[in-house]
Structure 1
Amino acid sequence: MVPDHLNHAWQKAIGLLRHPGAGILLATTSTLVLVLSLVGFTAEKSTERTARKPSLLDLLDEVARDSDPKKVLPGQQPDAPQAESWTSPLAQQCSGIDQSMRSRLLAKRRKLPQLRQSIPADPTNYGDRFRSNPWGQAINPAPRVVVLHETVYSLSSAVNTFLTPHPRDEDQVSYHTLVGLDGSIVDVVDPLKRAYGAGYSAFLGEWAVTNAEFDGSVNNFALHLSLETPDDGHGTHGDHSGYTTAQYDALALVLDGWLERFEIDPAAITTHRHVDLGGARADPRSFSWSDLQNRLAALGRLCQS
């Protein structure tokens, strides 16, 4: 659309062209050329603004921050303890797709924005992703691993915990997204922010230390998703009856969006049990990788050339 002030100038130029007199005609021609140039320049700039969408790095630049330069510590970040190797249970799959499952998931994906609910956590329970650590060294804040959890108790109990202010660092906790037994999806922390889903943790020998008073963790480069635990699994001991069909559907759809948006390899979907360095975590218990495999394959996420 041509701005009003340029449209007015255009109409004025056309009117002058009809006026007799070579001098006026010459002046009008110059005006017309100028107007055409301005219109072209404005249209080009408008097209540039419309065509260029912010990249992931642009978005991370907006939300990530450097450590406080006034508190930079001498030395360097401690190395993470040697981590266990991770072999993903998810295999490449280009054939043998369950077409009825694919149709169901695609139908749900079209309605996904309406199915999601946002209940933001209290600001004490999440933070910024950091681009540098307390020693002033650059660290990569881009999400590149997905950690699966379970709530241990009900979905509402988890939400209430995240809504409760926790001034003490050691009490702060959150996930980016929760998935209920009925397949409901509750987004708690913006994926561009740092959720406090794992404490002392590492993935493939990598962690990030963002507070020198605490051990490193995967939180600065992780996305955290937690499945609601069934009633027979409340507590931390033993297995339980497992997660519902609706939960696996919703889980696959959330992961599908994250893998696309952040260009994460499906092999980087792991568990809290695996990344935990303290040996105290077992979640998600009773998890079926084959159920997730079938759904991600149906969505075309496991067929890579």
Structure 2
Amino acid sequence: MVRDPLTRRFKHLRRRLEGRHGILAIGSFGLIVSLSSVIWLSSSDVALTQSHHQPSLLELLDQVTSGTPKQLDDASNRMRPDPPESTAWRSPLTRQCKGIDDQIRKRLVKLKSSFKQQREQIAIDPSNYGKRYSVNPWKDSIDPMPRMVVLHETANSLTSAINTFKTPHPNDHDQVSYHTLIGMNGRVVDVVDPLHRAYGAGYSAFLGEWAVTNPEFMGSVNNFALHLSLETPPDGYIGGRHHSGYTEQQYDALALVLEDWMETFRIPSEAITTHQHVDLGGERGDPRSFNWKKLQVRMAALKRLC
């Protein structure tokens, strides 16, 4: 979850950037990521509020944009992968301005009043997430702005997923995380700051776009995606293409999380997709048994489809 001061600061800068492009936009995003990092670390000994030193804009930008991360070194001699083919995505979420379910609207409004306070934040191992990059291995500028949402499922219990994320994974192939998880009872757990990169989808692309951030791997959507996972019901633990589906509480919480991200990052409903769709390996089928109609009525009630 983007904490309130950061959210307001982000929206203010986003408005100021309206109509601007290029280096200014990338630099401003770097500032936001840096501010996010400072706030995210506020629970540790390096909280900004405990220091009298206020970093300058140049210092904040330098923390994110200067230098080249180690995993991007020595990429000049490596062949660039060909860009992925563009696969069409027609969102099941359609425009809806009328026919709003008033009962659902009232329920969501009531839930929204205390939603931010009820969201939990759990720290996970740093090996399972990273920062968003503004350059690729060949030092070309890439856009790290979160601009799409990928829906997943845990394939096991919520507790199991959280324990996996807390476990160190030094091997890049084992690293995994989502930004937010939603339990079957509607419990919302934030584990990766939205301004950081969660490792939710490996070999993946959306509408022909990916970002290569490590020359050892093909590209993925992780550098510009937000990842949200729904807890799988017990009858889905054993695999299969279907299970009993997700609870009403999960769909309510999902709608409110999506509304928050759509507002903060100006993500359109058309950019909410699934792991199954972005996966280029053809191995992912989640979230199984997802009911887009249930999300449709909720997003319409929140006036996000009009």
1:237 corresponds to? 240
Aligned-pair CA distance for 1:60: 3.5
- Partner secondary structure for residue 170 of structure 1: helix
| Contact residue 60 and residue 141 of structure 1 kept, 8 A | no
Structure 1 gaps of 5+ residues are 1-49
CA distance in structure 1 between the aligned counterparts of 2:86 and 2:242, rounded to whole angstroms = 25
In the alignment, does 2:239 pair up with 1:266?
A: no
Instruction: Tell me the equivalent position of 2:138.
Output: 135
Deviation by residue 1:184-236 (Cα, 9 ceiling, x = unmatched) = 00001000000000000000000000000011000000000000000111133
Q: Structure 2 matches for 1:42-121, cutoff 5 A?
A: 53-55=12-14, 57=29, 58-60=31-33, 64-65=64-65, 67-68=68-69, 71=74, 73-74=76-77, 77-121=80-124
Q: What is aligned with 2:125?
A: 122
| Residue from 146, 163, 176 that aligns with 1:160 | 163
Query: Could you tell me whether the CA contact under 8 Å between 1:147 and 1:225 is conserved in 2?
Result: yes
TM-score, normalised relative to structure 1? 0.79
| Equivalent-residue separation in structure 2 for 1:65 and 1:225 (angstroms) | 27
**Matches for 1:105-254 after TM superposition, within 5 Å:** 105-254=108-257
Letter aligned with residue 79 of structure 1: D
Question: 1:92: how far off?
Answer: 0.2
Instruction: Tell me the matched-pair count.
Output: 253
Which of 274, 278, 285 pairs up with 1:275? Answer: 278
Deviation at residue 74 of structure 1 after TM alignment:
4.7
Look at both structures and tell me which one has the larger radius of gyration over its CA atoms.
1
Q: How far off its partner does 1:80 sit? A: 2.6
Give me the CA root mean square deviation: 1.9
Q: Which residue of 1 aligns with 2:293?
A: 290
Given that 2:131 and 2:196 are in contact with CA atoms closer than 8 Å, whether structure 1 keeps it comes out as yes
CA contact (8 A) 1:60 1:142 kept: no
* Cα displacement (A) at 1:71: 3.7
Which consecutive aligned stretches of 4+ in structure 1 deviate over 2 angstroms post-superposition?
A: 52-58, 60-72, 74-81
Instruction: Report the Cα offset of residue 114 of structure 1.
Output: 1.7
How much does 1:53 deviate? 4.5
Structure 1: how far apart are the matches of 2:104 and 2:98?
Answer: 14
Question: Per-residue deviation at 1:81?
Answer: 2.2
Structure 2 distance, partners of 1:81, 1:129, is 20
Moved more, 122-131 or 110-119: 110-119
Give the TM-score taking structure 2 as reference length: 0.79
* Amino acid corresponding to residue 156 of structure 1 in structure 2: T
How far is 1:237 from its partner? 1.7
Output the CA distance in 1 between the equivalents of 2:263 and 2:12.
Answer: 16
| Alignment check: 8 A CA contact 1:202 1:216 kept | yes
Shift of 1:129: 0.1
Does the 8 A contact of 1:182 with 1:247 survive in 2? yes
Structure 2, unaligned stretches of length 5 or more?
Answer: 1-8, 15-27, 38-63
